[in-house]
């Protein structure tokens, strides 16, 4: 019999040979800069799109909440962990998403794995885009519903699958990302919603990369808006914004909410302050998007609809090599490899933030142009 340690060592070695081993690196982040091994880099791999994670107003709100309410929340929200900041935060989210109500979870991942099994189960069907985020799929699998995948952003394929399969099931849930996290492209919400009306399905969209950046992240076409407070809101936590009826059911039944401790007060206070800034300073999202498209223009690539710009390189080896070459020039751009992306599409996923300076983006462009043989 193999020992546990031999088994794990062997598995990790095999992944290493395929350039698929993953390792944690200590990273101290200061805005768009990251310090690793005492070296300072400009990072194009953060999801802090609006530069709010270290905004002085956000820090002040979080610090004040720690002083007032203490550090941990002490219990599940349904027991005694529902400190007063939750109501304010949820009201703000519901307002921004144009929904009756919202509920905050421990993270975006927990929001998805908690919500989907409440809405559908055995005897129901889920139609999910091929490229949806892993945590939507994990939630789908936990639900026990039958899962059908449609080709990425291909509404004709979804229409065909719905026509063929919908009638054999009780409820149908369509899962999409609003902005696809590794490609930066956007779901056709209006067409998806029309299909959901035609085939009696519910549309759930993951807005982890849209909030505060895309103008349609409160689109009425979507029945269930899910999102995170860890990216453009520069904080931590996840949410669902929907009708009061849906939110009431989630609060009663979502296992990742019921059986997990509420977020610390300071986290909620920081997120709330960030959302308030996001609402009154829309130029932040516009700047992040403009920087991404400045790089797209310089590299002769098509424009992106989000601050995510993928440089697809193909093999793991090429992606790692370009990432390493940029690192030698003081630029951090992480290589994204399978299984996060489909085999043969390893890439550098560049993300832009309102916190980047023009000079930093110009340096990225110059470094990529110097390596143009690779891109
Ligand atoms: C990051 C991400 C999540 C998870 O959110 P966390 O708050 O980080 O757990 C969910 N969906 C998508 C599309 C994401 O990119």
Indicate the top mutation candidate among 45, 106, 109 to test ligand 1's pocket, ranked by most ligand atoms within 8 A of CB.
109
Q: Residues 192-216: pLDDT tens digits?
A: 999 999 999 999 999 999 999 998 7
If you measure from the C-alpha of residue 226 to the centroid of ligand 1, how many angstroms do you get, rounded to a whole number? 10
Residue 372: pLDDT over 70: no
Residue 17: pLDDT over 90: yes
pLDDT at 375: 46
Q: Which residues pair with 128 in a beta bridge?
A: 149, 175
Which run of H or of E encompasses 113?
helix 108-119
Q: Is the CB of 211 under 6 A from ligand 1?
A: no
Mean pLDDT across the chain: 95
Taking the CA of residue 237 as reference, the ligand 1 atom at the shortest distance is: 7
Determine contact, residues 163/184, Cβ cutoff 8 Å: no
Q: Residues 273-319: pLDDT tens digits?
A: 999 999 999 999 999 999 999 999 999 999 999 999 999 999 999 99
If you measure from the C-alpha of residue 135 to the centroid of ligand 1, how many angstroms do you get, rounded to a whole number? 7
Q: Is the CB of 178 under 6 A from ligand 1?
A: no
Tell me which residue has tokens 């998403």: 97
Residue 186: pLDDT over 80: yes
pLDDT at 1: 85
Q: Is the CB of 271 under 6 A from ligand 1?
A: no
If you measure from the C-alpha of residue 277 to the centroid of ligand 1, how many angstroms do you get, rounded to a whole number? 21
Name the E strands within the chain: 28-30, 33-36, 39-43, 101-105, 125-129, 146-150, 172-177, 202-206, 224-228, 238-242, 308-314, 331-332, 335-336, 346-351
Q: Residues 112-156: pLDDT tens digits?
A: 999 999 999 999 999 999 999 999 999 999 999 999 999 999 999
If you measure from the C-alpha of residue 229 to the centroid of ligand 1, how many angstroms do you get, rounded to a whole number? 9
Determine contact, residues 143/114, Cβ cutoff 8 Å: no
Percent of the chain with pLDDT over 70: 99
What is the rounded CA–CA span in Å between residue 53 and residue 221? 30
What is the rounded CA–CA span in Å between residue 124 and residue 50? 38
Tell me which residue has tokens 């099931």: 169
Q: Residues 334-357: pLDDT tens digits?
A: 999 998 999 999 999 999 999 999
pLDDT at 219: 83
Counting every residue, how long is the chain?
Answer: 375
pLDDT at 374: 52
Indicate the top mutation candidate among 217, 227, 230 to test ligand 1's pocket, ranked by most ligand atoms within 8 A of CB.
230
Mean pLDDT of 94-123: 97
Taking the CA of residue 47 as reference, the ligand 1 atom at the shortest distance is: 1
Can you give the pTM of this predicted structure? 0.95
Backbone conformation region of residue 51, classed left if phi is above 0, alpha if psi is from -120 to 50, else beta: left
Distance of alpha carbon 98 from the chain centroid? 20
């Amino acid at each position: 019999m193999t020992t546990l340690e031999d088994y794990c060592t062997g598995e990790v070695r095999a992944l290493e040979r395929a350039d698929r081993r993953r390792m944690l690196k200590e990273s101290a982040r200061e805005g768009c800069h990251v310090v690793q091994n005492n070296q300072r880099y400009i990072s194009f791999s953060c999801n802090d799109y609006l530069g709010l994670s270290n905004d002085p107003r956000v820090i002040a709100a979080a610090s004040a909440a720690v002083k007032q309410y203490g550090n941990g929340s002490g219990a599940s929200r349904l027991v005694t962990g529902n400190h007063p900041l939750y109501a304010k935060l949820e009201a703000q989210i519901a307002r921004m998403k144009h929904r009756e109500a919202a509920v905050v979870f421990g993270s975006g991942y927990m929001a998805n794995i908690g919500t989907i099994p409440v809405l559908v189960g055995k005897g129901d069907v889920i139609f999910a885009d091929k490229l949806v985020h892993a945590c939507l799929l994990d939630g789908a699998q936990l639900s026990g519903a039958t899962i059908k995948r449609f080709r990425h952003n291909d509404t004709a394929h979804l229409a065909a699958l719905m026509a063929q399969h919908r009638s054999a099931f009780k409820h149908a849930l369509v899962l999409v990302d609003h902005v696809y996290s590794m490609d930066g492209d956007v779901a056709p919400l209006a067409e998806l919603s029309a299909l959901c009306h035609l085939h009696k399905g519910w549309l759930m969209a993951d807005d982890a990369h849209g909030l505060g950046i895309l103008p349609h992240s409160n689109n009425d076409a979507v029945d269930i808006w899910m999102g995170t407070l860890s990216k453009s809101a520069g904080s931590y936590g996840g949410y669902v914004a929907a009708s009061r009826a849906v939110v009431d059911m989630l609060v009663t039944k979502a296992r990742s909410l019921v059986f997990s401790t509420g977020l610390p007060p300071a986290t909620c206070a920081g997120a709330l302050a960030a959302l308030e800034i996001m609402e009154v300073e829309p130029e932040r999202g516009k700047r992040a998007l403009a920087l991404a498209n400045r790089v797209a223009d310089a590299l002769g690539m098509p424009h992106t609809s989000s601050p995510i710009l993928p440089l697809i390189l193909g093999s793991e080896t090429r992606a790692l090599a370009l990432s390493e070459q940029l690192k030698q020039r003081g630029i951090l751009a992480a290589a994204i490899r399978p299984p996060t992306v489909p085999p043969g599409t390893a890439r550098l996923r560049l993300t832009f933030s309102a916190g980047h300076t023009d000079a930093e983006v110009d340096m990225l462009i110059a470094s990529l142009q110097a390596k143009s043989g690779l891109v």
